[in-house]
Chain A
Amino acid sequence: MSVLYIVVPLALVIVAAAIGAFVWATRTGQFDDLSTPGVRVLFDDEPTRKPADQPDNDGNQ
């Protein structure tokens, strides 16, 4: 069962990584709002582009 000496520390490293990921996610504000992202997935596509940035496509500029 000496494999335990490798597997258990390995598990702890994975836990540490998970905690690290969670801390990063929290610090970047990903848990600040838990309700809006849930409805945001329902939007079909990216928000429309800004008219100012839109190339004029009727060619009469």
Chain B
Amino acid sequence: MRTEAPAEARCDHCSLPVPPGLFDPEADHQFCCAACATAYEVIHSCGLEQYYTLRQRLDDTPSAAMGAAASDHYDRYDDPAFHDLYVEASEDGLLCVELHVVGMHCAACVWLIEAVPGAAPGVVESRVDLGRSMVRLTWEPERIRLSKIARLIDSLGYPTQPTRGAALRALERREDRRLLILLAVAGAVAGNVMLIALALYGGSVRWLGGWMAPEHQLFFRWISAGLGVLAVAWPGGVFLRGALASLRVRRLHLDLPIALALVIGAAWGLANTIRDTGEIYFDSLTTVIFLLLIGRWIQRKQQRRAAGAVELLYRVTPTSVRLVRDGATEQVPIETLIPGAIVEVRAGETVPVDGVVVDGESDIDASTLTGESWPVRAAPGVNATAGGVNLRAPIRVRVEASGEDTRVGRLMRLVEESAQRRAPIVRLADAITGWFVGAVLILATLTAVAWLLIDPSRAVDNAVALLIVTCPCALGLATPLAVLVAIGRASRRGILIKGGDALERLARPGLVLLDKTGTLTLGKAALVRWEGDESIKPLVAALEAQVAHPIAAALVESIGAAGAHTIDHVEHTVGAGVAGHVDGRRLIIGSQAFVTSHVGALTEWTVGAIERCAAEALTPIVIAADGAPAAVAGLGDPIRDDAQPALDKLRAGGWRLGICSGDDPRVVRAVGARLGIDPADCIGAATPEDKLSRVREELHHGPVVMVGDGVNDAAALSAATVGIAVHGGAEVSLESADVACNAPGIAPIAELVAGATRTIHAIRRNLAASLFYNVVCATLAMTGVINPLIAAVLMPVSSVTVITLSFRARTFEPEA
């Protein structure tokens, strides 16, 4: 007989309801599926039970509302708008999506994320790509909803985020595969032609006893000619097309001498094969193609894409809202909103629209949008902007603008525009290429002309030899390899470099513009100064713990948990302060005016302390005990510990520093003064548009590196020469920056700049080495002493030199 599962039976692992079929009255623990049971077992056998207690404790705290909001976040996964943007439908009615998984890094993560959703009914497949931190989910829409799968993965401790349209990625994947196939063909052909070449060279060295029958020699030459022509026509076609394109736009491109060498070399080699006389260069030609394609492939892996405005907006604002109609609320997609409608925003939720608060009182944290360190008060009549987070209590907002018409929507359009407008840099290798191509073409002509006068029979041979041996394969590898190695090492140091060119953009020192809130500072209020009686600190914390206010919360957090105190007679005056009895002592905590109104005039010392706070742009809080002022607390946003040393390093490297913040100018100047930044370069009260125009203006004078963390920095980040998003930044800023720091603080920025300089040096060394080989080869070819054997040896040696130099370069190693 089967026992019915009690209605409240929940899975001990993921807290989802236990299906009746799986309820086991005998067991100590209940699970919703076999995978959860296994996950639970694994977690227990690893001694990680703490995970469950930790989770429970989080659920019990008042921040449970925040937790609910976080899972609300997944409701949008079922929106038609979401599906249009990210979900791909396959032929048999299945849906497919790729989600970015946060915090996945090892085999156990892969196992959990593949096994747990994979075992849920309706999920066809869950496939992880560890390298890109993605999971590809395939599911039956009739049996399960995506939001449920996402919550399941989230409940394991891995939040997910949607990523770019699958169609675009499929296109890129096809391109990746095509290049990989070309690479394989080129490699196979090069290896086999090399084997044949070995026989041909060996057979021609008579003093070693080598000898080859003429008919065998002819046979081998024909085989390598066949393979060589295949290599030039198929994988080499990449360069031929590139050269044609460069001719069409009349610009010298590295593909031009390559294509010339390939075509002339192959044609001449084929002619010599048919005539059965002279040199054939197919071994060198095929190696050139292979090595150059390796360079192309590496370079392709370093490209970065800019995100579109619509998608960025999607990351900031919710897509469904709670519409208030006739006193009741209902969930509707944001597209259906018209101005004048009323929406409800609960505590912990993001404000979805621009509008005016009509009901409710709360605090809105708009710091990522505005850079202001204090939450803004929301009360009837006050404007609320989309993207801010409602901290305390539910509010109702009358819609004025939604979607792309909101302030943040316009901002995201600016981000997209800036990314498109950004001037491409002239890469070092490209700059050299112009000269290189010209020089090779002139030298080849000179060689042909000179040898026509000296010995016409060798003119074509020598010119062709020159074209082939100067083929820039080391040159093509020099930059991508050095950058590849640097990016790999940087990522191990917590610096994620998204575009290969970001490092080269940092070559020339210029201006570093720093955001203040969250970048130079911790981004949340804390007790920075305390003057007066230290012994009343715990009493202050105990009293402030009774009040729900950002300043109170900051005081409580900075001072630490209060012990047991008897508290009574608490009176809270909104926007002024709080009074009450703690352990029998009467405390009055609040603004200068509030305390003055209770205890009369303040002492001279208190006023002095308040002035000292104001000088540092801190918010002064006066504390009076038993009718007399006892202490002054200065609250502010503390500067990060690592800010000063990091800025000193940047200065030593020749960079100018500036601050551009949305916060109060006085606060910005105070922070600047503490860090030794010229007050003229400390700009406060900057709107996101101001930041963008500041960056554009400074770009006329030189490179600008923008460092920021918020949505308000996004446009400036994408317009700057290099945008750097610091750890803990908003998703949009991570998306629009070239470099994202995965390590806290701004120390990684100094490291990045130093590493970039060393990478540039490594690139220069590589270019110098490859040019050196080319000069030697060109000289040998022009004087007519080159032969295919020397060419075949020099070619790989130059590439190996470049590879060795790249891997030995100390770009992002920890300093010894």
Contact = CB atoms under 8 A, between A and B. Distances in A.
Interface of A: 1, 4-5, 8, 11-12, 15, 18-19, 22-23, 26-27, 29, 31-36, 39-40, 42-43, 47-52, 54, 56, 60-61
B59 interface: no
B219 A52 contact: no
B184 interface: yes
A34 B810 CA distance: 26
A58 to B, nearest CB: 8
B776 interface: no
Contacts of A48: 33-35, 38, 115, 118-119
Given A4-B219, A31-B177, A31-B180, A52 B121 contact: yes
Interface in B239-255: none
13 contacts: A4-B216, A8-B223, A26-B180, A32-B129, A32-B173, A33-B132, A34-B131, A36-B129, A36-B131, A39-B130, A47-B119, A48-B34, A51-B22
A39 B184 contact: no
Contacts of A40: 107, 110
B596 interface: no
A39 B121 contact: no
Contacts of A8: 196, 219-220, 223
Nearest to B107: A39
Contacts of B22: 51
A51 B219 contact: no
Interface string B21-43: 11000000000011100100000
Nearest to A22: B184
Report, as a range, how many residues of chain B touch the other chain. Answer: 35 or more
Contacts of A36: 110, 128-131
Contact of B33 (A33, A51, A60): A51
A39 B131 CA distance: 11
Contacts of B561: none
Contact of B184 (A19, A42, A52, A54): A19
Given A23-B184, A36-B129, A42-B107, A51 B121 contact: yes
A18 B114 CA distance: 32
B111 interface: yes
A35 B131 contact: yes
Nearest to A52: B121
A50 B34 CA distance: 8
Given A34-B131, A50-B33, A51-B121, 11 more contacts: A12-B192, A12-B227, A19-B185, A23-B184, A26-B181, A36-B129, A39-B130, A40-B110, A42-B107, A50-B121, A60-B2
Interface in B550-599: none
B188 interface: yes
Contacts of A35: 129-131
A18 B537 CA distance: 76
A48 to B, nearest CB: 4
A39 B192 CA distance: 34
Nearest to B35: A48
B54 interface: no
Contact of A11 (B34, B184, B192): B192
A55 to B, nearest CB: 11
Nearest to B119: A48
B350 to A, nearest CB: 33
Contacts of B21: 51, 56
Interface string B153-183: 0000000000000000000010011001100
Contacts of B121: 50-52
B19 interface: yes
B785 interface: no
B680 interface: no
A49 B38 CA distance: 12
Contacts of A39: 106-107, 110, 130
B192 A15 contact: yes
Contacts of B453: none
A29 B1 CA distance: 49
A9 B173 CA distance: 34
B816 interface: no
Contacts of A43: 107, 111
Given A8-B219, A51-B22, A22 B111 contact: no
A26 B1 contact: no
Nearest to A60: B2
A1 B120 CA distance: 65
A10 to B, nearest CB: 12
B213 interface: yes
- Select the residue from A26, A60, A61 with max chain B CB neighbours within 10 A: A26
Contact of A1 (B2, B111, B114, B216): B216
A28 B38 CA distance: 32
Nearest to B106: A39
Contacts of B128: 36
A31 B129 CA distance: 11
Contacts of A56: 21
Contacts of A5: 219
A49 B177 contact: no
Contacts of A60: 1-2
Which 9 pairs from chain A and chain B are nearest by CB? A39-B107, A35-B131, A36-B130, A52-B121, A48-B34, A33-B129, A47-B115, A35-B130, A22-B184
Contacts of B107: 39-40, 42-43
A24 B106 CA distance: 29
Nearest to A18: B188
A11 to B, nearest CB: 7
Interface in B81-136: 106-107, 110-111, 114-115, 118-121, 128-132
B19 A23 contact: no
B177 A26 contact: yes
B34 A27 contact: no
Contacts of A61: 2
Nearest to A33: B129
Contacts of B223: 8, 12
Contacts of B33: 48, 50-51
B131 A22 contact: no
Contacts of B114: 47
A33 B131 contact: yes
A24 to B, nearest CB: 10
A47 B117 CA distance: 10
A7 B180 CA distance: 29
B649 to A, nearest CB: 33
B139 to A, nearest CB: 12
A33 B130 contact: yes
A42 B38 CA distance: 16
Nearest to B33: A51
Interface in B205-226: 213, 216, 219-220, 223
Nearest to A34: B131
Contacts of A23: 181, 184
Contacts of A33: 129-132
Given A36-B131, A43-B111, A51-B34, A19 B180 contact: no
Interface in B481-510: none
Contact of B119 (A4, A11, A15, A51): A51
A4 to B, nearest CB: 6
Contacts of B177: 26-27, 29, 31-32
A53 B401 CA distance: 49
A42 B121 CA distance: 25
A47 B34 CA distance: 10
A32 B174 CA distance: 10
